[in-house]
Amino acid sequence: MLHFPRSEEPPSIKRRAGLIDGICPEAAALLADKNCPGTTFTAIKLMKPIRQLEAAELMCGQGNFSSAFAKAIRAATPENLLKPQSATTHKSEDDLATQLAKLEKELATLQSNATQTDEQYGIDHLHLTVSATYISSLLTSDAVSGWLTEKYPEIAVEFQAIARGVAAPTEHKKAVRLQFKRRQHAAGPIN
């Protein structure tokens, strides 16, 4: 990491350092390595330190550092958690309604993103399950298992661990099926 004397810092570093002036150290630490626009910091500065920390935690938890989200958090902040402002910057009802509408839009976007992530997770989980089952079935062959152990022992160990993970749930299912088949044969076919 490059360290510059204060007088020789590039303008972008000076500007970035100025953004956190007026933000509590805990919130600044949470947002220090995040890619936040300057207007996000401006919105956070209007809140008291406890609310700044809550806002930073909320933004980090959602992974959303947009200025619209920060302004929406500010709009939803109770008056007693906002820093005192001059009378000229007092929020009007129209401004509040606009910010709440933006918050609703931002939350709808987040919900859509969460749904897409859940769907992708389901697809990825299915692919992993199918792949693990396939690896497990390959390792049941002594020829494949022996060749893999001989040629690539480190991969064989990992594949065997995967096969053990797949085998545990399927062994239980096989036991249930065998018990059912025995009862069926003993009692005769069920119509």
Q: State if pTM tops 0.75.
A: no
SS3 95: helix
The domain locations on the chain are 8-82, 119-187
Give residue 191's pLDDT. 46
Stronger pLDDT, 95 or 61, i.e. the higher one = 61
pLDDT tens for residues 82-113? Answer: 988 744 455 566 777 788 888 888 888 888 88
Stronger pLDDT, 2 or 102, i.e. the higher one = 102
Give residue 87's pLDDT. 46
Give residue 157's pLDDT. 93
pLDDT tens for residues 7-52? Answer: 545 666 666 667 778 899 999 899 888 888 888 898 999 999 999 9
Which residues does residue 82 pair with via DSSP β-bridges, in sequence order? 47
Token code pair at residue 17: 């350092």
The runs of H, that is alpha helices, within the chain are 11-19, 25-31, 38-45, 49-62, 67-75, 93-139, 142-151, 153-187
| Side-chain half-sphere CA neighbours of 17 within 13 A | 7
Tokens 């390792």, located at residue:
139
Give residue 177's pLDDT. 43
Distances (CA, A) of 152 to 134, 144, 145, 158, 166: 18, 11, 10, 10, 21
